[in-house]
Structure 1
Amino acid sequence: MQPADLALFLGAVVVLLAAFAARIGTRLGLPALLLFLLVGMLLGPIGFGINFNDLAGAHAIGFAALVLVLAEGGLSTNWKDIRPALAPAALLATVGVGVCFGVMTLLGHYVLGLHWSVAALLGAATAPTDSAAVFSVLRGVSLPNHLRSVLEAESGLNDAPTVLVVIALTGVATGESNAGVLPLLGSIAVQLIGGILVGLLVGWVAGKVSRRITLPSGNLYAIAAMAWAVTAYGTGAWIGVSGFSAVYIAAVVIGNGDLPYQHTTRSFSEGIAWICQIGLFVMLGLLANPDRLTWGSVGVGIAAGLLLTLVARPVAVAACTIWFGFERNERLFMSWAGLRGAVPIILATIPMASNMDRADKFFDVILVLVVVFTCIQAPTLPAAADILGVVDPQMAKDVSIEVAPLDEIAADLLQADVPKGSRLAGVTIRELRLPRNCVVSLIIRGDRSFTPHAGTVLEQGDELLIVVPQGKRRTVAERLIEISRGGRLARWHGLRVQTAD
C-alpha cells in the first residue's frame, strides 16, 4: 500500500473510531471531545507509537480548527433568542473573563506558588468556557431560553479576548514584549472592536451578495457561507485586528440573514465543525504524552481546577450577573456549567510554539485540568439542573424550516418539519392562518405523501412543503415557529422568535 493510501485509510479509521466514541460520550453524558482526545492518546507513544511533536504545526492546526468551529457556532446562533441575553453574556465574556483571569492569577501565585508570569498564563488559558463542550452537553438539559442563551453566547464570545491575552502574556514571558499593562489592555480592546467591525462588514456584504446571486445548488450556499466567515477571519488578521471575533460576528450576521438554505448551511457547518473537532482533539491527544506527566503536574492541574471551579468561576458569574435579575440557583448553575474544552488546550500550545521555558509542563497542567473537571462537571449537569430547580420541562421544540428559491415563479418553497414536542402537532392547516397566496402544497407523513385540505390535522413527524410568494417567507417562518412554541392560539403580533429562513 502506498503511503498516501495508508494515510487515507488510517484517517478514515480514526474518524470512524471518533464517531463511535461520540455515541459512547452521549450515553455517559460526556463531551465527545474528551473521547477524541483519548483516541489520539491511544494512537500516540503509549499505544500505536505514532510520535507527533510538531509544535508549530499543532498551533496552526489548532487555530484553523478553532476558526471553523467558531464559524459553525456563529451560523447556529439564534439572534432573537440570544438578544435578550446579550448584555449578561457579553459581560461574562469580557469582564467575567477578566475577573476569572485575575482571581486565578492571584490564587496561582499565592496558593499554588507559581511564578507571576506562569500564574497569569494559567489564569488566561483557563478563563474561557468552550462552546463545543457547552453546546453538546446543554442539548440534553431542558433549560429555560434565557439561561441557555447566556451560557451559549458567553462560550462563543469569550474565545477572542482570551486568545489575545494569552498571546500577549506569552510574549512577555518569553521576553519578546516589554509593553506595560495599560498598553496591552488598549491593544486588546482595539483589536476586539476592530474584529467586531470587520465581522459586521463582511457579514453585511455576504448577505447582499448571496441575495442577489442564485446558486445552482443548496450545498453551494452552505459552502459560500463558511467561506464568507473564514474570509472575515482572514481580513481581520490581515489588517491587524482580532480575526476570531471577526469570524464569529460575521457568522452570526450570515446565519441570521434572510438567506436561502439556512438549514442546509447549518447542517453542513455542523459537519465541518465535527471533522475539525475530531482532527483537533486526536492531534492534541497525540501531542499529550502520558509518560511525560508527573505527579507535580497532576497535582497542580487538579488544584488549579478546584480553585477555578469553586472560587474563580463563581466570583466571575456573581460579579457579572447580579445586575440582571438572575436567581441564586441560576447563578450557581451557570458557575457549574462553565465547561472547559478545546480552547484552553489550544491556548496551551501557544507557549509551546513560542519555545517558552517549561511550556510542556504548562500544557500538561492544562490538559489534566480540562480532562478531570470536564469528566466531573459534564455528566452532573442534568442532575445539577434538577437539584437547583432550573429545568424547564414544558419547553417546546422549535419547528425546523428550510427555504429553496423558485426563480421561475418568483416564489420560495419552504420545507418545515414537525418535531417531537412541537405544539404544531394537533393544529389544522386552517389554524396556521398563513398569509394570502401561501399554500401548504404537500404533507409527507411516514412513507406516504398527500395534498392536505383546510381541516387536515398536523402530526408529529410530518414534513410540510409550503409555496410562499417572495417577500412572505419570513412572515410564514415566524408564524410557524410561534405556533410551534405557543400552540394554535399563539399571537400573530409581538413575536419573540427567530426565523430560520
Structure 2
Amino acid sequence: MDPADLNAVVLLGAAVLLAAVAAVRISTRAGLPSLLVYLAIGLALGESGLGLQFEDAELTQVLGNVALAMILAEGGFTTQWSAIRPVAPLAGVLATLGVLVSVAVTSGLVLLLLDVDLRTAIVLGAVASSTDAAAVFSVLRQLPVRGRLRAVVEAESGFNDPPVIILVTVVTSDAWNSSGALGIAGQIGYQLLAGVALGFAVARCGVWLLARSALPASGLYPLATLAIAFLAFAVSGIAGGSPIMAIYVAGLVLGNSRLPHRAATDSFVEGLAWLAQIGLFILLGLLASPDRLLDALPTALIVGGALTLVARPLSVLLCATPFGVPWRDQAFISWAGLRGAVPIVLATIPMSVGLPGAERVFDVVFLLVVLFTLVQGPTLPWVARRTGAALAVGARDVTIDSAPLEDLDATLLQLSVPPDSRIAGVEVAELRLPEGTAVALALREGRLFVPADTTVLRAGDHLLIAAPRDARPEIEERLRRVSRDGRLAGWYSRLPPRVRPLTATGGPRP
C-alpha cells in the first residue's frame, strides 16, 4: 500500500473512531443505545454516502462473531454473580424456553401474514427473537431500575444469544433437511451444556494460574485475562460446544474472582468492548443498502410488531408466571427486550450460505432493529415508571470505583454522591465504615479538603476512601445501603416494613 493511501486510511479511521466516541454522549442523553449512531455512521460511509463499497457478508459474519464474543465477555466480566444468582433460574428459562416460544409465535404469524416459506419464516422469527446484550447493558445501566429486574433482563440478554445462534446456524445448514426436530433440539442442548461446562472449567483454571503468576508488568494481566476468555471460546468451538456461551460464562467466572490488578483489567476490557461495538455496528451499517430498505419497511413492521407486541409478551408470561413475577414486572421485562447487533449479525448467516431470499431477510432485520430500538429505547424510562420498575427518588445507586495499592495490601475507593442519594446530609462518622478504613480526601465544588468525622456530605461530593483490600465488598455494600436508606441504614433496613420510621430520610440537615 502506498504511504499516502495508508495515511488516508488511518486518518479516516481515527476520525470515525473519535466521532463514534463523541456519539456515546449524545445517545446516552437521548436514552438510545449507541448502536443506532454507529449504524448511521456506517450508512454514511457506505454506498449512499461517501461511496465505500462493502458487500462481504461472510467476512461480516466472522468479524461479527468475534466482536460479539468480546461484548459478551465484557458483559459477563462486569456482572456481579451475587446480583444474578437469585434470578438465574428465571433468566435461564427466559433464554431457552422463552426464546423457543418467541421463535414459534413470530414464525407462525410471519407464515400466516406474509408470503414466505416455512424455512424463511423460522429464520426471521429466530433472528429477531434474541435480545441484545450490548443494547440492554447500555440502556439499563443508565436507568434507576430495581436491581432484581435489571439482573433478569441483563442475564437473559447474555444467556439467550447462544441458543438463537445455534438455531439459526442449524436451520440454514444442511441439517434442516437431514435432522428432525428432536435432532435439532439435541444439538442445541449439547452445545449449550458444553459451552457452560468448558467456559467454567477454562476460566477456573485461568484464575488459578493468574493468582500464582508473577508477571513483570501490570499491563500483562489484562492481556492474560482476555486471552483466557477467548481460550474458552476456542476450546468450546473445537469441542462442538457453543463458543458464545463459553466466553460469557468465562467472563462471569473471571469477573467474580479476585484477580491481580483488577482495576487495569476492568478498564482494558471495557475499552475493547466499546471498540468491538463501534467496529461491529459501523461494519453492519456499511453492509446495508439504503436503497433496498424502503421496500423492506412493511415486512419489518409486521415481523417487529408480531415479535414485540405478541410473541415477546407471551413468552415472558409463560416463563415468568410460574416464578410468581407480578404482571407489572412482566410488562417491563417484555418491553426491555431490546434488539441490536445480534439479530443483524445473525441475518448475515443466511447470506453467507447463499440461502434464497437471504438479502431480503437482512434488510428486514436491519430495519426492524433500527425502528423498534427507536421506539423502545426512549420510552423505557416511562415504562419503568408506569410499571413500578423504576427506583424511587433517593434510591439511585452510587458509583464506586477502586484502584489497588499492591504494596500495602489495600485499595482506594472513589465514591461519587449522586444528586438523589441519601448519603447527602450524612456525617462521615455516620457512614460507620469498617475498622481500618479512612475517608482520606474529598472534592467539593472544585475544592479539595480532608474531611473530619463531623463533615456533612453533600450531593456532588467525590470521596477518596482508603481501606484494607479484604474490606472492599463490605464497604461497597455499606455505602449502597446508606445511599438507599440514609444514616439509619444499619438498623433501618432490618426493621419490618410496617414499623420503619417515616422520618428516617437521611436528607440534608438544616
Give the structure-2-normalised TM-score.
0.89
Residue number in structure 2 paired with 1:414: 412
Residue number in structure 1 paired with 2:38: 36
User: Quick one: distance in 2 between partners of 1:337 and 1:269?
Assistant: 25
1:380-417 CA-to-partner distances (Å, cap 9, x unmatched) read 2122223334322232323413141423x4x2122231
**Is 1:26 aligned to 2:28, yes or no?**
yes
Residue number in structure 2 paired with 1:236: 236
Show the 5 A alignment for 1:139-158.
139-158=141-160
Distance 1:437 1:379, change over 3 A: closer
Distance 1:86 1:72, change over 3 A: same
Residue number in structure 2 paired with 1:498: none
- Check the 8 A contact 1:397/1:419 in 2, yes or no: no
1:210 offset after TM fit, Å?
A: 2.9
Show the 5 A alignment for 1:19-418.
19-172=21-174, 178-213=178-213, 219-293=219-293, 295=295, 297-394=296-393, 395-407=395-407, 409=408, 411-418=409-416
1:161 offset after TM fit, Å?
A: 0.9
Secondary structure of 2:397 counterpart: coil
User: Quick one: distance in 2 between partners of 1:210 and 1:10?
Assistant: 38
Give the structure-1-normalised TM-score.
0.90
Greater alpha carbon shift after TM alignment, 61-70 vs 430-439: 430-439
Distance 1:218 1:467, change over 3 A: farther
1:169 offset after TM fit, Å?
A: 0.6
1:82-107 CA-to-partner distances (Å, cap 9, x unmatched) read 22222221111111001001111211
Sequence identity, in percent? 42
User: Quick one: distance in 2 between partners of 1:380 and 1:415?
Assistant: 34
User: Quick one: distance in 1 between partners of 2:166 and 2:492?
Assistant: 43
Letter in 1 for 2:300: G
Letter in 1 for 2:373: T
Greater alpha carbon shift after TM alignment, 43-52 vs 80-89: 80-89
Secondary structure of 1:320 counterpart: helix
Secondary structure of 1:465 counterpart: strand
Secondary structure of 2:413 counterpart: strand
Residue number in structure 2 paired with 1:499: none
User: Quick one: distance in 1 between partners of 2:151 and 2:346?
Assistant: 25
Distance 1:294 1:427, change over 3 A: closer
1:190-221 CA-to-partner distances (Å, cap 9, x unmatched) read 11111111121222223223333355665544
Distance 1:423 1:334, change over 3 A: same
Structure 1, gaps ≥5 residues long: 496-501
1:440 offset after TM fit, Å?
A: 4.0
- Check the 8 A contact 1:236/1:243 in 2, yes or no: yes
User: Quick one: distance in 2 between partners of 1:213 and 1:117?
Assistant: 51
1:423 offset after TM fit, Å?
A: 3.7
Structure 2, gaps ≥5 residues long: 495-510
Residue number in structure 1 paired with 2:14: 12
**Is 1:488 aligned to 2:490, yes or no?**
no
User: Quick one: distance in 2 between partners of 1:149 and 1:164?
Assistant: 24
Secondary structure of 1:415 counterpart: strand
- Check the 8 A contact 2:439/2:463 in 1, yes or no: no
| Cα-Cα RMSD | 2.5
Letter in 1 for 2:268: F
How many correspondences in the alignment? 489
Secondary structure of 2:17 counterpart: helix
Letter in 2 for 1:329: R
User: Quick one: distance in 2 between partners of 1:148 and 1:203?
Assistant: 25
Secondary structure of 1:414 counterpart: strand
Greater alpha carbon shift after TM alignment, 345-354 vs 297-306: 297-306
User: Quick one: distance in 1 between partners of 2:317 and 2:482?
Assistant: 36
Greater alpha carbon shift after TM alignment, 324-333 vs 337-346: 324-333
Distance 1:447 1:379, change over 3 A: closer
- Check the 8 A contact 1:160/1:242 in 2, yes or no: yes
Secondary structure of 1:90 counterpart: helix
Distance 1:214 1:115, change over 3 A: same
User: Quick one: distance in 1 between partners of 2:198 and 2:484?
Assistant: 35
1:35-90 CA-to-partner distances (Å, cap 9, x unmatched) read 21111111111111110112221111110110000011111112222222222211
Greater alpha carbon shift after TM alignment, 116-125 vs 284-293: 284-293
Secondary structure of 1:487 counterpart: helix
Greater alpha carbon shift after TM alignment, 69-78 vs 330-339: 330-339
Letter in 2 for 1:285: G
Distance 1:454 1:486, change over 3 A: same
- Check the 8 A contact 1:151/1:334 in 2, yes or no: yes
User: Quick one: distance in 2 between partners of 1:443 and 1:379?
Assistant: 35
Greater alpha carbon shift after TM alignment, 477-486 vs 133-142: 477-486
Residue number in structure 2 paired with 1:461: 461
User: Quick one: distance in 2 between partners of 1:126 and 1:80?
Assistant: 30
User: Quick one: distance in 2 between partners of 1:478 and 1:208?
Assistant: 27
Secondary structure of 2:338 counterpart: coil
1:433 offset after TM fit, Å?
A: 3.3
- Check the 8 A contact 1:446/1:462 in 2, yes or no: no
- Check the 8 A contact 1:198/1:246 in 2, yes or no: yes
1:229 offset after TM fit, Å?
A: 1.7
User: Quick one: distance in 2 between partners of 1:370 and 1:474?
Assistant: 39
